[in-house]
Amino acid sequence: MRYRTIGDGRTSFDVSTLCLGTMNMGTRVDEDTSFAILDRYLEAGGTFLDTANNYSYWAGGHGRDSEDLLGRWLASRGVRDDVRIATKLGAAKKDPALPLQNVEPTNFQGLGADVIGYEAHESLRHLGIDHIDVLYGHVDDYDTAIAETVGAFGKLQAEGVVGITGISNVALWRVVEAREEAQRQGIAPYGLVQQNFTYAYPTPEPGRHNWASYELLDYAASTGVDGRPPLAVTAYSPILQGAYVRRDKPLWDGFDHPTTRERIRLLHEVAGELGATPNQVALAWLLGGEHPVVPIIGPSTLEQLDELLGAADLELDAELRARLDAA
């Protein structure tokens, strides 16, 4: 396992470069299997766990199933000090009687100060911890003033409840504005942005704000110097939810185009040359790029986890990376 430092100019700590996503734990992945995956990840040197307060309504869960499971695992193993925990808020159900969905009406709680304060403390309770290492706004909220959202996160930091704050599914200009607003308020800015990012890329669409654009990566790379507090990018669905290796897995909306199919073909070609798997090559491409990100992997079995962990030390030389980039 390898590690990198994340921070916001005031708080910083090291995390493993492969983050373990726990979205399906406690719902689609049973408790015994989930505990085995968490144990193996920790044994392999993994230290960064990712969850949210709305997983997995769509799989029959109540929203905090994965937080609850992580809380039980932490308590049973006594390893709180060995891991960094990230959770998210703002995209749980505003009205419990209505569905939760990505299209309007979304029914998200939003990022008002009251929601942030209450939901963060609820996450502490469900996780069974006294502080959250990383707290993200799950989905940007245009209906709440950025100043209110940023100020609410800053209050939690001042209370010692939260270490580093972040935002997910967001337009670049909103990230920049929020970080400038934090400076105006004299509080720590967002230190993380969590976006969808993988080797394949979607077609440009107006209103698509969940993709880690190259402009975002370039902006993040420009930080970490005097006057520009650091900003890192974490990447969800980095292996396209299995579509690189499963032909029965439909491609997400926006990804079903000829370039994706050529990139999948090339992943298989390069993997064959390296004696690796296409998923490992895709993760190595993310980890070793000009602007490296932290991929969030979400295995459902120990076998899947072991495969993905193999990407941590897979090196792509300049020739291979050039071939992959050119597709």
Please report which confidence band the pLDDT of residue 36 belongs to, taking 50, 70 and 90 as the band edges. very high
With 80 as the cut, is the pLDDT of residue 232 above it? yes
pLDDT at position 35: 98
pLDDT at position 52: 98
pLDDT at position 308: 98
Question: How many angstroms separate the CA atoms of 120 and 99, rounded?
Answer: 22
Query: What proportion of the chain, given as a percentage, has pLDDT over 70?
Result: 100
pLDDT in tens, 281-305: 999 999 999 999 999 999 999 999 9
pLDDT at position 285: 98
Buried b or exposed e, range 245-271, using 16+ CB within 10 angstroms? beeeeebbebbeeeebeebbebbeebb
Q: Which of 213, 211, 164, 171 is nearest to 190 (CA)?
A: 164
pLDDT at position 100: 85
pLDDT in tens, 92-112: 999 988 888 878 888 999 999
| 275 Rama class: left (phi>0) / alpha (psi -120 to 50) / beta | left
55 flagged as catalytic: yes
pLDDT at position 304: 98
What is the residue-wise DSSP string for 157-180? HHTTSEEEEEEES--HHHHHHHHH
Q: What domains does the chain contain, in order, with CATH numbers? A: 3-242+290-315 (3.20.20.100)
pLDDT in tens, 76-87: 999 999 999 999
Residue found by looking up tokens 């939760």 in the block: 100
pLDDT at position 60: 80
pLDDT in tens, 256-270: 999 999 999 999 999
Query: What proportion of the chain, given as a percentage, has pLDDT over 90?
Result: 89
- Residues contacting 241, CB < 8 A, separation 6+: 249, 252
Mean pLDDT taken over the chain: 96
pLDDT in tens, 7-25: 999 999 999 999 999 999 9
pTM: 0.96
With 90 as the cut, is the pLDDT of residue 225 above it? yes
Q: Considering 41, 55, 57, 236, which one is annotated as catalytic?
A: 55
Residues in a beta bridge with 211? 196
pLDDT at position 101: 82
- The sign of the dihedral angle between the CA atoms of 213, 219, 224, 230 is negative
Q: What is the mean pLDDT of residues 39-44?
A: 98
Please report which confidence band the pLDDT of residue 121 belongs to, taking 50, 70 and 90 as the band edges. very high
